Amino acid sequence: MTLGPVTSSTDVATPAGEETPTIADGKKIEGRSLGRIAWMRLKRDKLAMAGGGFIIFLILVAILAPLINKVLGHPVNEYHQDKIDPNLGGIPPVGTWGGISKDFLLGVQPVTGRDLFSQIIYGAQTSLLIALLATLLAVVIGIVVGVTAGYYGGWVDSLFSRFMDLILAFPLILFAIALISVLPPTKGFRIAVMVLIIGGFSWPYIGRIVRGQALSLREREFVEAARSVGAGSFRIIFRELLPNLAAPILVYSTLIIPSNILFEAALSFLGVGVPPPTPSWGRLLSDAVDYYEYDPMYMLIPGLAIFVTVLAFNLFGDGLRDALDPKSNR
Amino acid sequence: MPTSTPQTERAATRPATENLLEVSGLEKHFPITRGAFIRRTVGAVRAVDGLDFTVRTGETLGVVGESGCGKSTTGRLVTRLLEPTGGKITFEGRDITHMSVRQMRELRRDVQMIFQDPYSSLNPRHTVGTIVGAPLRIQNIPTPKGQKRAVQDLLELVGLNPEHYNRYPHEFSGGQRQRIGIARALALRPKLIVCDEPVSALDVSIQAQVVNLLDDLQRELNLTYMFIAHDLSVVKHISDRVAVMYLGKMVELAPRDALYATPMHPYTLALLSAVPVPDPSRRDKAQRERVLLTGDVPSPIDPPSGCRFRTRCWKAQDKCAQEVPPFVELAPGHRVACHFPVTDAERTPQGRMAAQHAAAEVPPDTAAEPAL
C-alpha cells in the first residue's frame, strides 16, 4: 500500500494530474500509483505544504525540547524573581512585551518569572503527545467499528451506527470534568485518562466516514471479483477495502488532530488537564486570564501557539483531502 | 446499438456433447424488509423465478433480456456469488447449489466471471500484476517459472503488453481494463466463464475487439461461456444457443440461428424487431415492421399471474392469466414458454405489421404499484 507522502517519489518527469501515461520508448515502464499522483498534487499546494512543514517543525521541537531548551531557554521551573517588576505589586515582568529579551525569547511568566519559552516548547510536547495518542486510538477504534459495520451491514451496521450516534450525543465536557476531577492527579495517569477520553469520544467521526466508504466499496465489482476467485472476508477487508480506505482515514485523522489539540487545551484551561508543574498551553492560557491587564503577551503567546498549530493541521488536512480526492471541490 | 461487430458468423456449431452446467428451478428472491430495529420481511423481489437450462461443454450460451430481467442475477447465482433461494445448480455432475464458501473455493478454479464495468471491477490501489496474480495466490496455484512470469504470460494472452505489469488500472483505457479482467478470469484456467455484459460498458469499436478476443480464447483454451448481454447483435455473433429472459423467467431457449430466424415467443419477436438496422435502405422497412410494446415491465415484487408477459402481449387471452405456460420443446432444441407461440404467418412482413398494430393497442397496465 503506497499512499500519501511517499519518500522516494521525486524522480517523476511528467507533470502530475494528467493520468495519461505515454508508453515510454525503451524506458522502463513503471506504474504511477494513486498515492504517488496525490503526493505530486500535494506538493503543488503551497498552503498545505506550509502547514505540513510547520507540523514537522513542531514535532521536532517537541521531541528535541530538552536539547533546544538547554541552548535557548532556562529550566522549566527555575524562578527568576529579578525579572519581575517589584513596583507594580510584583506581578508584571520587567521591560516591555512581557519581558522579551535576548535571554528570555518569549518573555517570562508574571509573578514567578519562569521562562515562557521553555513552557511553550514543553507545552508542545504535552499537547502533541495527548492529541496524537488520542487520534491514534480514535483511528484504530474507528477503523475496526467502521469497517465491521460497513462490510457486514444488516443488524451489525444498525447496532454500531446507533452506538456511534450515542457517543456523539454524549455531553463530553461535563463527563470529562466529572471523571478526571475524581481521579488521582498524577501526571502519567492523567495523560492516560485524557487520551482515553479524547480518543474514546472522537472515534465515531472516523468510524462514520469509514463505514460509509466501506458500505459503498463493498458493492463495487472488484470486491465481487475477489470473492469469485475464492478470497475470504479477511482478505477482502485487508487487501481490497483498506487500501481504498487509507485516503479518507488519513485525511480525517489529520483533521481530528487539531480538534483533539483544542480539546486538550480546553480541559487544561478548565483545570482538569495534566497536573502542574507539567507545562500545558491550555493551563498557560487559563493562568493568563488573571494577569492580562498587566501582561497581555502572557495570554497572547500560548494562544498563538494553539492557533498556529491548529491552523497548520487544518491546512495540511484540507490540502491532503484535495490531493487524495480531486473530485471533492468543497 | 449499431451492429459494428464484424458479421463473420462463426463456423458450424462445435459438437457440444455433455452438459457442463445444469440448472433446474433456480430461484432468487431478495427480501424487502421494513423497520429500524426489528426487521420484518414485507415482500420479495423475485429477481429470478424458476429457471431451467443447461450449458454444454464448449458452447456459448447467450442470455438476453432487458434491464432488470434477472440476467446478471442468474450469472451471479451460477458463479455462486449469490445464494439461490430455491432450485438446483449442478456443475460437472456435482450439486453446488448450497456449497459453503470453503467448499466453493475449489470450484472457483473451474467457474470464473468477467464483469460488466471495467472501471469498478479492478481495484484502483493494486497494480495489474497484483490484480491478475491474485487468483494464483489465493488458490495457491504453483507457477513453475515464477508468478510474475505467469501473470505476464496471461497479459500477453489477452493482448496486453507484459511490460505493463507494474501499472495501475487508471493508466489504461476501458478496453484494456476489460482485457485485464479477462486475464484475471483466465488465470485459474477455468472451464466455464460467466461473462456479465462484458462489452456493454465499452465503445462500439472496442466491443468488436473484445468479443473477438473472447472468441479466440474460447477456441484456444476450450472454454465454455455463459454470455450475458442486452445487445442482440453481439449475442448473435458469439453464441451457439441463445436464451431470452423476461421478468425473472426464461421465455425462449433455442439454437442461435433458429431463434433469430424463427422466434416463437411474442416477446422474442418484439425484441428482435427492435434491433436497429444500420442499412438505410432496409431501415425504413424494418421500422415499419417494428413491434413496439406498450407499457413498462411489471414489478418483479408482484409479477402478473400466469404468463408474465401477458400484460404487454398482443396475443394474450384468458388462459394466459390463469395458467403459467410450461417451458416446453416445440421444435428440436427449441424451448418456449408460451400458450400461443408465434406462427410462421406472423413472421412475414404482413404478419409483423398486424402484430405491430395489435401490440400498439394493448392497454398499458394501469394496475397501481403494490402497496408495501
* Model pLDDT for residues B188-217, shown as the tens digit of each residue: 999 999 999 988 888 888 888 899 999 999
**What residues of chain B have any CB closer than 8 angstroms to a CB in chain A?**
36-37, 39, 76, 79, 81, 101, 104-105, 108-109, 112-113, 115-117, 120-128, 134-135, 138-139, 161, 163-164, 166-168, 170-171, 181, 184, 187-188
From the list B134, B164, B168, which residue is nearest A229 (CB)? B134
Q: How far does A202 lie from chain B, in Å, by closest CA?
A: 25
What's the rounded Cα separation, in Å, for the pair B271 and B64?
Answer: 10
Q: Which residues pair with B27 in a beta bridge?
A: B49, B86
DSSP secondary structure string for all residues of B127-188: -HHHHHHHHHHHTT---TT-HHHHHHHHHHHTT--GGGGG--GGGS-HHHHHHHHHHHHHTT
Q: Does A293 touch chain B (CB under 8 A)?
A: no
Q: Which residues pair with B193 in a beta bridge?
A: B112, B225
Contact A31 B167 (CB under 8 A): yes
What's the rounded Cα separation, in Å, for the pair A231 and A223?
Answer: 9
Task: Identify the pLDDT of residue A266.
Answer: 87
Task: Identify the pLDDT of residue B140.
Answer: 87
Choice between B38 and B355, residue whose per-residue pLDDT is larger: B355
From the list B122, B134, B167, which residue is nearest A29 (CB)? B167
For residue B189, the chain A residue with the least C-alpha distance is: A229
* Helix pair A65-72, A116-152: axis angle to 10 deg: 160
Average pLDDT over residues B155-163: 91
What is the per-residue burial (b if ≥16 Cβ within 10 Å, else e) of A12-39? eeeebeeeebeeeeeeebbbbbbbbbbb
ipTM for the complex shown: 0.81
Tell me if A311 is assigned to some domain. yes
Element (H, E) at B256: helix B256-261
Tell me if A180 is assigned to some domain. yes
Contact A230 B170 (CB under 8 A): no
What's the rounded Cα separation, in Å, for the pair B303 and B315?
Answer: 18
Task: Identify the pLDDT of residue A44.
Answer: 84
Average pLDDT over residues B21-35: 87
Closest CA to B270 of B328, B355, B345, B336: B355
Choice between A267 and A325, residue whose per-residue pLDDT is larger: A267
Task: Identify the pLDDT of residue B367.
Answer: 46
Q: What are A307's three cell numbers?
A: 492557533
Average pLDDT over residues A50-67: 87
Task: Identify the pLDDT of residue B4.
Answer: 43
Q: How far does A42 lie from chain B, in Å, by closest CA?
A: 18
Q: Which amino acid is at A112?
A: T
Residue B19: burial class (beta carbons within 10 Å; 0-12, 13-18, 19+): middle
Interface test with A, best of B78, B79, B123 (most A CBs within 10 A): B123
Tell me if A26 is assigned to some domain. no
Element (H, E) at B112: strand B111-114
Residue B70 pLDDT > 60: yes
Task: Identify the pLDDT of residue B5.
Answer: 42
Question: 3-class SS at B329?
Answer: strand
What's the rounded Cα separation, in Å, for the pair A221 and A212?
Answer: 17
Average pLDDT over residues B179-183: 93
Task: Identify the pLDDT of residue A327.
Answer: 58
Task: Identify the pLDDT of residue A2.
Answer: 37
Q: What is the pLDDT of residues A270-309, one digit of tens each?
A: 888 888 778 888 888 888 888 777 777 888 888 888 899 9
pTM of the model: 0.79
Task: Identify the pLDDT of residue A268.
Answer: 85
Percent of chain A topping pLDDT 90: 12
Q: How far does B24 lie from chain A, in Å, by closest CA?
A: 22
Residue B37 pLDDT > 70: no
Give the structural domain span for A252.
66-324
CB neighbours (10 Å) of residue B40? 9
Residue A12 pLDDT > 70: no
Residue A180 pLDDT > 60: yes
Q: What is the pLDDT of residues B136-152, one digit of tens each?
A: 998 888 888 888 899 99
Contact A232 B116 (CB under 8 A): no
Q: How far does A75 lie from chain B, in Å, by closest CA?
A: 50
Task: Identify the pLDDT of residue A293.
Answer: 74
Distances (CA, A) of B242 to B17, B90, B161, B342: 17, 20, 34, 17
From the list B76, B139, B168, which residue is nearest A229 (CB)? B139
Distances (CA, A) of A178 to A251, A270, A272: 32, 11, 9
Q: Spell out which residues of chain B touch residue A34, defining contact as CB-CB under 8 Å.
A: 124-125, 168, 170
For residue A235, the chain B residue with the least C-alpha distance is: B138
Contact B123 A222 (CB under 8 A): yes
Q: For chain B, what are the domain ranges?
A: 19-33+45-239, 262-360
Task: Identify the pLDDT of residue A47.
Answer: 87
Task: Identify the pLDDT of residue A99.
Answer: 65
Element (H, E) at A117: helix A116-152
Q: Spell out which residues of chain B touch residue A239, defining contact as CB-CB under 8 Å.
A: 134
pLDDT bin (cut points 50, 70, 90) of residue B243 is very high
Q: How far does B171 lie from chain A, in Å, by closest CA?
A: 6
Q: Does A234 touch chain B (CB under 8 A)?
A: no
Q: How far does A21 lie from chain B, in Å, by closest CA?
A: 6
Q: Which residue is associated with the grid cell 417451458?
A: B327
Contacts A–B by Cβ distance under 8 A: 91
Q: How far does B134 lie from chain A, in Å, by closest CA?
A: 8
Q: How far does B337 lie from chain A, in Å, by closest CA?
A: 32
Interface test with A, best of B125, B152, B192 (most A CBs within 10 A): B125
Largest CA distance in chain A: 83
What's the rounded Cα separation, in Å, for the pair B129 and B184?
Answer: 10
Q: What is the pLDDT of residues B275-318, one digit of tens each?
A: 877 777 777 777 767 777 877 888 888 888 889 898 888 888 88
For residue A28, the chain B residue with the least C-alpha distance is: B163
From the list B108, B116, B164, which residue is nearest A230 (CB)? B108
Residue B8 pLDDT > 50: no
Residue A86: burial class (beta carbons within 10 Å; 0-12, 13-18, 19+): exposed
What's the rounded Cα separation, in Å, for the pair B262 and A29?
Answer: 53
pLDDT bin (cut points 50, 70, 90) of residue A11 is very low
Question: Which residues 17-76 of A are in CB contact (within 8 Å) with B?
Answer: 19, 21, 23, 29-34
- The tally of domains found in chain A comes to 1
Per the CB < 8 A criterion, the answer to whether B290 and B355 are in contact is no
What's the rounded Cα separation, in Å, for the pair B117 and B180?
Answer: 12
pLDDT bin (cut points 50, 70, 90) of residue A105 is low
Any idea which architecture B19-33+45-239 has in CATH? 3-Layer(aba) Sandwich (3.40)
